[in-house]
Structure formats: structure tokens, C-alpha cells
Amino acid sequence: MAKELVKRGTHILGIKDMAGLCKPYAAEKLVKALRNEVGVPVHFHTHDTSGTQAAAIVKATEAQVDIADMAIASMSGLTSQPNLNSVVATLRDHPRNTGLALGSLNKIADYFENVRQFYYPFESDMKSGTAEVYYHEMPGGQYTNLQQQAQSLGLYDRWDEIKREYRAVNFLFGDIVKVTPSSKIVGDMALFLVSNRLKAEDVIEKGKHISFPESVVQFFEGHIGFPPGGFDKKLQQVILKGRKPLAKRAGALLKPVDLKKLREKLAGEFGSDIDPRDTLSSALYPKVFEEFASARKKYGDVAPIPTRNFLFGMDIDEEIMIEIEAGKTLIVKLIAVSEPAKDGTRKVYFELNGTPRDVIIRDKKVKTTAKERAKADANNLHHLGATMPGLVSEIKISKGSEVKRGDVLIVLEAMKMQVNVAAPRDGVIKNVPVAKGDVVETDDLLVVFE
């Protein structure tokens, strides 16, 4: 395979060991064989889930590997990559001394050790390396993601079962190369089976009447390519249920993208500051970019907010400075936070550049019977949303009502203040998805026009 890749014009061969399965002596043997047989640089990438991969890099070094990538000490180990600082120290008196300054690396590690503390809610509960990776073969980058998915689905107590099913699904699919997005497809299927109390061996027999995750269906259609040995035809039929697999490579079927037109479209939806990077992001990941751009449009650029405050909020009487642009700084001081209201909201009192302000915020930790409502689409001219959180105290229209621009449609009340929601144009009312006495939040859908 290496010779064929080089024949096709490959400049660097990458050994991409996402799960950390290439043991030290295997790494030495593989790198040595590649160096003897092909004339291009060899790059060894591995993760340290097993706890042995620093040794694998050292053995690969002795076999004359050209490139190895690692993580700074405080961000290394477990499902991350091996410890760069330690390997640099190990090779200091070796013929292949890296030449990197260990003192500088240690300073960088100290800095990120402090930074990492802010992100503790996103850490996995993994405390040490484990040889279990040789059983389930889960890539390091996926292990923590799959754990969080399991938690969100209420399956965390069945994590051991999910790992076993991951291995079974991998072999059911043909022992595929597991890297994004193929590893996610295996994970999606494992979660799906565990949540439905099924096993991988049940799929062919019981799968005829089961709707599988879309990522799995698209895999068997050929959307990320074709495995070297092809798909298991029987399994493919069960998964696709009549959908036709692609006849050629998915990339060859993609329609050309007019980036200029796409940028103009995005600028119309999200503002004129759309740049080429945003345009490419939308072309590659349309749903993810839309979510990101919508949040940026609603809240502005949150990057200048200090990390600790962005993730954990502010303490009472704490004052922070936020530089929103050169020469323009906001001074924010938190004064008080009220007790939660029946609808789960709290009133937050603060100072902005010395001026008292307050805002009503929903506290998601507070349990409430308040109904989750549909949000008004700012780009849909038929939608009219709430301009503030409050109580629907009066409704002046119903389905079929003809209204003129400026007519009061609904009255909202909050903290003894009433706000009239007026018709932005002439029209006919199609639907009023709220009732008198309902509690709504900002942007909740109040009225739909024909």
C-alpha cells in the first residue's frame, strides 16, 4: 500500500494511530520497513490511551522516523498524545537529540496547566491509561466525545456495555479504519443499539423494521467512500432498506459551490462582516456554521470575555474589563441575582460602565413546568416573536383576524411593565401559538401570519 501511495504522488506517509494500538516494537518494525522500501518521509501519529506510546515514539525514533507529533506535558497522556517534554528529555543524550529547549517546553506546560483548570467540566473521568483500548480500539479523540454522548442520552451507567458494542459494531462493519467520521459512525451505531437494547448480531435478523442512524445509512450508501473489500451486501440491504448506494465516489457527485454567491447569501442572513473563512466554514459544515453565526449575531463576539467568566459567570461584586475593540473597553460589575421566579427566570442586576442595568435570564438549573416554546425565525417575515420575557396578559387577535400595520396584537407584562406587540405589516393571522397567562422568553414565537 505504501509503495502504491508513493507511486500516486504522495509526499509524506502518515502512520495515523488514533487509538494508540501500534505497540513499541511494532512501531519500530513498521517504520523500519517503510524507510527501507519507500523514499519519502514517514510521520508517526499516535495517542496515549494505553500509556505506552511514548515508548512507541522512542522505538520509532531508533528506526529513523522523520516526524512524530506529541502534546505539551500538561495537555498530554490518556486519550491525548504522548508527553512531548518527557520524550525530548529522554532523547537529550541520544544521537537523535531533538534540539528542543526543555526549559522552554516546561514553561509552556506550566502555562497550559493553569489554562486547563478552567475547562474541568469538559474533562473525562478517565484517571489512567488502560490496556482496554486494545480490546475496543476506540480512537483517543472519540473516547471522551462518546462518553459525553452517552451521558446526554442517559446511558452513562451502561458505558462498559457501549465499549463492548463498539468493538462488535466495528467488526460487523468489516473492521473499518476508525478515524473521523468513520469512528463516529461506529459510535453512533453502538449508542443506538445499546439504547434500543439490541446487539450487533441482531442487526441482520431484526434490522428490517428498524430505522438506523442517518450517519450509518449514509456510510452504507458510500458517502465517505468504499472499504477496500466492499460492503457486506446482506448487511447493506438491511441498513439501506431500498435506498440505492452511490455508483461512484461521493466527491465526484458534489455540485460546484459558487463561493461569491454563498458569501453574499450569508451576509444577507448574518451581517456584512462575513469573511472568506466564514464562507468556507459554511460550505464545509453548513449546520454547524449556521448555529455558530446565529449565536454570534444574537450575542456578538464573545471571544473578549475572560474564559473563567464565560464558562462560570461572575461573583457578586466582581468587576471585569472587556476590551471589545481597540480603545473601547466595557467595565462590568455584578451587583445581585434575584431568587428564581415560577418560570425559572432570575433577574440579574449589574453595572455597565458605572450605569445600573438589569436583565432577566432563564436559570436552566431551576426546574420549572414552563413549556418550552418554538422560537421565531428572524429571517421569516411570517413570524413575530416576543421582544422580552414576560407574561401574556392579553391577546387581541385569533386565527383568521385581519390586521393593519401598527395594530396591537398581544400585550406582554413583566415586572409591572406592559409591552404591546404590534403588527409589523398588514396581514391575516394564521396561528397564535400562545394563550393568555403563558410565560414566554425573548424571541418565543407569538404570532404566525398567512
Q: What is the pLDDT of residues 163-195, one digit of tens each?
A: 999 999 999 999 988 888 899 899 989 988 888
Share of the chain above pLDDT 70, in %: 97
Predicted confidence (pLDDT) at residue 260 exceeds the cutoff of 60? yes
User: Cell numbers 449514509 label which residue?
Assistant: 218
Residues in the chain: 450
**Secondary structure element (H or E) that encloses residue 305, with its range:** none
Q: What is the CATH number of domain 259-299?
A: 1.10.10
Average pLDDT, the chain: 90
Q: What is the CATH number of domain 307-362?
A: 3.10.600.10
Q: Which residues contact 33 (CB under 8 A, 6 or more apart)?
A: none
Of 24-33, 74-83, 108-117, 203-212, minimum mean pLDDT range: 203-212
- The type of residue at 368 is T
At 169, list the grid cell. Answer: 459494531
The CATH architecture one would assign to domain 133-252 is: Orthogonal Bundle (1.10)
Assigned fold of 2-122: TIM Barrel (3.20.20)
Of 94-98, 100-104, 229-233, 404-408, minimum mean pLDDT range: 404-408
CA 288 vs. chain centroid, Å, equals 8
Q: What is the pLDDT of residue 371?
A: 62
Strands (DSSP E) found in 247-327:
319-325
Question: What are the residue ranges spanned by the domains of the chain?
Answer: 2-122, 133-252, 259-299, 307-362, 383-449
CA 104 vs. chain centroid, Å, equals 32
The CATH architecture one would assign to domain 383-449 is: Beta Barrel (2.40)
**Per-residue pLDDT tens for 50-61?**
999 999 999 999
**Per-residue pLDDT tens for 100-119?**
999 999 999 999 999 999 98
Q: What is the pLDDT of residue 34?
A: 96
